[in-house]
A and B are shown apart, each in its own frame.
Chain A
Amino acid sequence: MTLDHFQLQQLWWVLLSLVGALLLAMTFVQGGQTLLWTTTRGEQERTLVVNALGRKWELTFTLLVLFGGAFFAAFPRFYAVSFGGAYWLWMLILITFVLQGVSFEFRNKAGNLFGPRGYEGFLFLNGSLGLLALGAAVGTLFTGGSFVIDGSGRMSWGTPLHGLEALLTPYNVILGLALVLTARVLGALYLIQAIEAPNLTERLRESAWKNLLAALPLILFLLLRWHGMTGYGYAADGAIVAVAGKYLDNLIALGLFGIGFAAIGLALLAGGTGMARFTPVRGGVWLAAAGALLFGLALFLVCGLNETAFYPSLLDPAASLTIRNASSSRYTLAVMAWAALSVPLILGYVAYVWRLMGARPLVADEVKNDPHHSY
């Protein structure tokens, strides 16, 4: 079976959407980081939470790196335009993730320069500001960026803020906040499942529910705002033009993969959290994370498929990036598609190890008894 260039471009948008959605589901690590100071009582609980999150942070981090790498390989023009143009926004995101990268390992070690509270602060920063900025960056896939591209392919950015202007657009900020709150829901649910500490669990159940109640209106706003919101897409003559209500059209046009995934996703997210709040079940996180995954898929698919510009240019609509004009060559996409056949295998061993390591929940004694191999 051979796929033509456009089929491969669509396949790669779907794969990228999947990575983005997995990343969204895995932001429970960041969400958990923001609960560190508010939901725990005392050093022992805090250390327990850090250790539970610390067993998973690298997976989330690796998904972020994969998201970047796959964009680079499949849609290099986006990589060039967004990273090179929205420079400060991405720098802000990167710096908070660099800080996160060392914080779990360094937090509890003698001589670590910033003290445990310092590293907990870095973790909070990553989970709050870092995720807010990442959400805003995802928001620019809908709201666009200020770039033009000249005949030789060189891109120039139109604002001196170099990407920070994304944080001044309400839509992006609301998406960022929704991401932070959803991550907190997922973080609380993950910790309920991963840790055995009754008092803490009660607080986490409460916290998950409250954060869900705060997140839902924002998420609904993001969807309702699509009514009448301008997107960009290909006209019949091949030009890229503004289309009113483009994203809502896409949501409906994509059917199960659009409005279906979004609705099921939200229902699962709410259902999983409700289970955690109103029943003694500990596994609500699985439902909620699956919900976040489906919702994330719908979000990414809506902004790239159906002849839509996934990164509109605010200065020159014709320069807007679509999966057709931003992609790699057919050969490269095909090579990468072969490489992507390894994804089920990777998911398989990740899941196997996850199950093996999580066979019993983490308890305070395990962390205390092995101070040399804990965070």
Chain B
Amino acid sequence: MMEAFDPAAVGWARAQFALTAMYHWMFVPLTLGLSCLLAFFETFYFRTGNPEWKRITRFWMRLFAVNFAIGIATGLILEFQFGTNWSHYSWMVGDIFGAPLAIEVLFAFFLEATFFAVMFFGWERVSPRFHLFSTWMVAIGSSLSALWILVANAWMQHPVGMTFNPDLARFEMQDIGALITSPAAVTHFLHATSSSFVLSALFVLSVCSWYLLKGRHPRLAVRSILVASVFGLLSSLLVILSGDQAAYDAARFQPMKLAAMEGLYQGEQPAGLVVFGLLNPDKQPGDDRPTFRHPLHLPFLLSLLANHRLDSFVPGIDDLLYGNPEQGIEGVAEKMARGREALAFLSRYRQARQHGDAEAAALNLEAFRQIEDRLGFAYLNHPEEAVPHVPTLFYGFHVMVALGFLFPLIFLLYLALAYRGRLSRHRWLLRFGLLLVPLGFAASQLGWVVTEMGRQPWAIQNILPVHVAQSSLAATTVQSTFFIFLALLTLLFIAELRIMLNQIRIGPEEEKR
């Protein structure tokens, strides 16, 4: 009995990937940011010899360790999931995609694994200098691991540096330099790491706000807040700069994603930005219904955001879906037709090869090469599939951006008040501070929702749709593992949360007298 290709399975496979990725991303941002903060705190200790900094370092290190362990555990599923649930993906692009993953392990995970043990257990076993070195190595290892995994993800958004091998029916890497230096990779890395730094700074602010509200550990709290808000403020600026670059990248590499993020159906020149509005639920591509109710519209801004030019044209969903000859945009239906032609040339090439007809093979291969960039579209069933879910993208993007602009103001406020020693008097701010962790996570998770949902229906933009990328598994099989992981990860998350809250309640070690 062969298990056939099951179209219903793709929904479950996507749900499982989303579930495991989102749980993983509950822990990774804290690992990325806290590891840097630990390195800062310990550097201050090393420089000043002030035991208070050591106490601060050790306290946050304990929270870091709880979070680090579960981050590693959830990451394991993600790596192997490419094989288990996306096995055709693994074959089609493993030649390209596997390399950054393996390099990530070599260059980053071993650093983290080796030096974490020193950082956590080595206080009495190695010299202070080597301990500090180890803490920095954990921070550097974490960011390196983010670099390689984001190179891999950026490649899915904007595939570069490869060629299609018609004999093996797969893509092969031609230039790893192009993968690493791809603008999408650089932007992705900067945006994901800087936003993670922001999130970890918000975490520190939240925990310390609680201490100040309770009147506990004021010295630790204020010092931690000072360092974290400077770190958060600087990182916030990087978030905004790299976010702007991400929109610019999307305009060039994933215009459909950008159009959906902005709820732009008809292209405009110049294009304005809807800062906020309610989407009309009846709106469909190609109809004349208004897109928004009560939009707050700012002229020129979208042109500026997308193309860094005030008077430029920004294509809408309709332009990209149905084509816009004036702007030289090919519609999805035409791309699908070209894709099917490409597929036909490919299959004639392979037949000719089988029959030893070298001339026919060469002719068909050349014809295929002319239109091979449309190959992925051959697998779409109807053009509308090419449009991602607009409400998810529009609301997700706008909430994320609003929060992204709010956070630096909060850091500034905390910094100013903590610097003047007046923080404890502003209890409203401290109470609001307790909300910073959920708000930070909301922004961070929404960023990934927009990134990944905006790429739909593609696993790799314009090359491989998700339903082709999946394994040949029955929907019930994937459904079962989805629920197993849902139960497992939720239980472990609850355990982690309770341990974290307990550790926060216990607080730092007693001061040594």
A-to-B contact residues, CB < 8 Å: 55-56, 58-59, 61-62, 64-66, 68-70, 72-74, 76-77, 79-85, 87-88, 90-91, 94-95, 97-102, 104-106, 109-114, 148, 151-160, 162, 328-329, 331-332, 335-336, 339-340, 342-343, 346, 349-350, 353, 356-357, 359-360, 366, 370, 372-374
Interface residues of B in 156-176 (CB under 8 A from A): 165, 168-170, 172-174, 176
**Prevailing SS type, chain A contact patch:** helix
Using known A-B contacts A80-B91, A158-B1, determine if residue A72 contacts B472 with beta carbons closer than 8 Å. no
**Segment of B108-116, B183-191, B251-259, B436-444 engaged in the interface with chain A:** B108-116
| B499 and A111 form a contact (CB under 8 A) | yes
Q: Is B73 an interface residue (CB 8 A)?
A: yes
Question: CB-nearest residue of chain B relative to A90?
Answer: B84
What distance in Å separates the Cβ of B117 from its nearest Cβ neighbour in chain A?
Answer: 5
Task: Give the distance in Å from the alpha carbon of A343 to the alpha carbon of B101 in the complex.
Answer: 15
Q: Which of B65, B75, B102, B126 contacts A66 (CB 8 A)?
A: B102
Task: Give the distance in Å from the alpha carbon of A95 to the alpha carbon of B95 in the complex.
Answer: 27
Interface residues of B in 40-80 (CB under 8 A from A): 58, 61-62, 65-66, 68-70, 72-77, 79-80
Q: Is B481 an interface residue (CB 8 A)?
A: yes
Interface residues of B in 485-506 (CB under 8 A from A): 488, 491-492, 494-496, 498-499, 501-503, 506
Q: List chain B residues, Cβ under 8 A from A340.
A: 106
Given contacts A105-B66, A156-B472, A353-B115, 12 further A-B contacts (CB under 8 A): A59-B113, A61-B76, A65-B105, A69-B102, A81-B91, A91-B481, A98-B488, A110-B499, A114-B495, A329-B165, A335-B176, A339-B102
**Prevailing SS type, chain B contact patch:** helix
| A336 and B80 form a contact (CB under 8 A) | no
Q: Is B471 an interface residue (CB 8 A)?
A: yes
Interface CB pairs A-B, < 8 A, 17: A58-B112, A59-B110, A68-B79, A69-B98, A84-B90, A98-B492, A102-B496, A104-B69, A111-B495, A112-B499, A113-B494, A153-B92, A155-B88, A329-B172, A332-B172, A350-B114, A374-B121
Q: Shortest 9 CB-CB distances between A and B: which pairs?
A: A76-B94, A84-B87, A83-B83, A101-B73, A73-B98, A72-B98, A105-B69, A111-B498, A58-B113
Q: Is B120 an interface residue (CB 8 A)?
A: yes
Q: List chain A residues, Cβ under 8 A from B88.
A: 80, 84, 153-155
| B99 and A65 form a contact (CB under 8 A) | no
Flag B248-270 by CB within 8 Å of A: 1 or 0 each: 00000000000000000000000
**Segment of B2-10, B303-311, B399-407, B427-435 engaged in the interface with chain A:** B2-10
Task: Give the distance in Å from the alpha carbon of A340 to the alpha carbon of B107 in the complex.
Answer: 10
Task: Give the distance in Å from the alpha carbon of A65 to the alpha carbon of B107 in the complex.
Answer: 13
Using known A-B contacts A109-B503, A353-B117, determine if residue A91 contacts B84 with beta carbons closer than 8 Å. yes
Q: List chain A residues, Cβ under 8 A from B169.
A: 151-153
Q: List chain A residues, Cβ under 8 A from B350.
A: 151
| B173 and A332 form a contact (CB under 8 A) | yes
Q: Is B96 an interface residue (CB 8 A)?
A: yes
Question: CB-nearest residue of chain B relative to A60?
Answer: B113
| B106 and A342 form a contact (CB under 8 A) | yes
Question: CB-nearest residue of chain A relative to B506?
Answer: A110
Q: Is B483 an interface residue (CB 8 A)?
A: no
Q: List chain B residues, Cβ under 8 A from A154.
A: 5, 88, 472
Q: List chain B residues, Cβ under 8 A from A105.
A: 65-66, 68-70
Q: Which of A94, A152, A357 contacts B122 (CB 8 A)?
A: A357
Task: Give the distance in Å from the alpha carbon of A83 to the alpha carbon of B472 in the complex.
Answer: 11
Task: Give the distance in Å from the alpha carbon of A85 to the alpha carbon of B494 in the complex.
Answer: 32
What distance in Å separates the Cβ of B110 from its nearest Cβ neighbour in chain A?
Answer: 5
Interface residues of B in 1-55 (CB under 8 A from A): 1-5
Using known A-B contacts A87-B84, A101-B69, A359-B125, determine if residue A95 contacts B101 with beta carbons closer than 8 Å. no
| B80 and A335 form a contact (CB under 8 A) | no
| A153 and B91 form a contact (CB under 8 A) | yes
What distance in Å separates the Cβ of A9 from its nearest Cβ neighbour in chain B?
Answer: 13
Using known A-B contacts A65-B76, A76-B95, determine if residue A335 contacts B70 with beta carbons closer than 8 Å. no
Q: List chain A residues, Cβ under 8 A from B82.
A: 72, 79, 83
Q: Which of A70, A158, A342, A346 contacts B2 (CB 8 A)?
A: A158
| B491 and A94 form a contact (CB under 8 A) | no
Q: Which of B92, B96, B98, B126 contacts A357 (CB 8 A)?
A: B126
Q: Which of A83, A373, A374 contacts B90 (CB 8 A)?
A: A83
Q: List chain A residues, Cβ under 8 A from B498.
A: 111-113
Task: Give the distance in Å from the alpha carbon of A153 to the alpha carbon of B85 in the complex.
Answer: 16
Using known A-B contacts A62-B105, A162-B477, determine if residue A73 contacts B65 with beta carbons closer than 8 Å. no
Q: List chain A residues, Cβ under 8 A from B73.
A: 97-102
Q: List chain B residues, Cβ under 8 A from A104.
A: 69
Q: List chain A residues, Cβ under 8 A from B96.
A: 332
Interface residues of B in 110-160 (CB under 8 A from A): 110, 112-118, 120-126, 130, 134
Task: Give the distance in Å from the alpha carbon of A124 to the alpha carbon of B88 in the complex.
Answer: 34
Q: Which of A79, A85, A332, A373 contacts B120 (CB 8 A)?
A: A373
